[in-house]
Structure 1
Amino acid sequence: MAFRKLHAAIIALCRLGVGLAFAALIVAVLVQVVGRSILNDSPPWTEELTRYSLLWLVAFGAGLSLRTGDLVNVDVVCEALPGRWPWRLRLFAALATAGLCAVLLIPTWRFVSIGVRQTSPVLTLRMDLVHGSILALLVILMIFALSRAIAMLSGKSDGHPAVDSEP
């Protein structure tokens, strides 16, 4: 029960993160378009904010996309295999995804820590806040991949993507 609540909280946090990042992206692009079209001068911060918002949008959205099957997935051959082979391949894919994320965590942490000494040119944000999106992406993707693998191994899922009951 606690696992379900934690999983639901992570999903809600990721959805909120996607929404906020997308809202920031929309505002930045809108200001840029209005500035260029009407004022003949767009603020320089809009390009940076657009890039950073897009990074965080992907960071929060990748795990959700893995969960719902919206990531690129070539499973025509895998699903046509006989017996339990499709299940085994889905489990392997989940474990391989989680493993790759785990292997990349330490190098990514080093990369993020370099950003403490750097700032972005226009917004003067510490770059570790920007580079942290890559670390967040890996952690979130690993959580959703492990969640799928655990659900498969415990018999609560067949490994197919989750279908949201919400619109």
Structure 2
Amino acid sequence: MDLDMQADDSTATPPAAIVWLTRINATLARFGMYAAVAGLLVLVAVVFYQVFGRYVMNSSPTWTENLAIVLVLYVTLIGAAVGVRDAGHISLESLMVLLPEKARRRLEILIYAAVGLFGVAMAYNGWILGSSVAHYLLPNLHISEAVRYVPLVLSGILIASFSVEHIIAILRGEEVVPSWN
């Protein structure tokens, strides 16, 4: 498809596969953000409990630090994936607006392709790393060490899917509507 083409009819119905991808991605992004916010609230509670135990009860719980680290991984990686979908990431738009429309669109496609490949690499390498440590247990939590790599895999898959959605939207001359609208 030529990058110069704009949608001839703004009321034209997109193909069913694109509608399906958009609905799935919007739903995944919305639930991902809900999960990240819930994880952040649990993280605050765990850290509060750790501080309370250490300074008030004079008996710091041993499991809170490991759980806090795992929660930070989930919150940041899932939140980063949602940031890709809803275009909440840092960008240099001031430089992009100086480019002609055709060059800007090509650069946006290149950027989302690179981000998507990075997501695929995250998912693949997270899977490899997680499976290599799956038989080890996290100290004080007594769960598999692989739990630390699950958010890396999930985030990578989501980033790749969200990047594909953005590339399709750019080719169609549209924008991805954030999942919060």
Q: Does TM, scored on the shorter chain, surpass 0.5?
A: yes
Question: Does residue 154 of structure 1 match 2:166?
Answer: no
1:59 partner amino acid = L
Q: Compute the TM-score of the two structures, normalised by the length of structure 2.
A: 0.80
1:6 partner amino acid = I
Q: RMSD across aligned C-alpha pairs, in angstroms?
A: 2.0
CA contact (8 A) 2:36 2:74 kept: yes
* Alignment match, 1:132: 150
Q: Which has the higher contact order (CA 8 A, sep 6+)?
A: 2
* Alignment match, 2:24: 6
The whole-number CA distance in structure 2 between the counterparts of 1:4 and 1:77 is 28
User: Counting helix residues as a fraction of each chain, which structure ranks higher?
Assistant: 1
The whole-number CA distance in structure 2 between the counterparts of 1:96 and 1:127 is 29
- Which region of structure 1 is more displaced relative to structure 2, 26-35 or 76-85? 76-85
* Alignment match, 2:115: 97
* Alignment match, 1:60: 78
Give how far 1:163 is off: 7.8
Question: Does residue 76 of structure 1 match 2:90?
Answer: no
- Which region of structure 1 is more displaced relative to structure 2, 78-87 or 137-146? 78-87
The whole-number CA distance in structure 2 between the counterparts of 1:20 and 1:6 is 21
Distance 1:14 1:126, change over 3 A: same
Q: Compute the TM-score of the two structures, normalised by the length of structure 1.
A: 0.86
Of residues 35, 39, 58, the one that matches 1:21 is: 39
Of residues 66, 77, 86, the one that matches 1:48 is: 66
Q: Percent identity?
A: 20
The whole-number CA distance in structure 1 between the counterparts of 2:123 and 2:71 is 22
1:4 partner amino acid = T
Give how far 1:19 is off: 2.3
- Larger radius of gyration, structure 1 or 2? 2
The whole-number CA distance in structure 2 between the counterparts of 1:88 and 1:47 is 45
Secondary structure at the counterpart of residue 25 of structure 1:
helix
Distance 1:75 1:164, change over 3 A: same
Unaligned runs of 5+ in 2: 1-18
Unaligned runs of 5+ in 1: none
The whole-number CA distance in structure 2 between the counterparts of 1:103 and 1:34 is 40
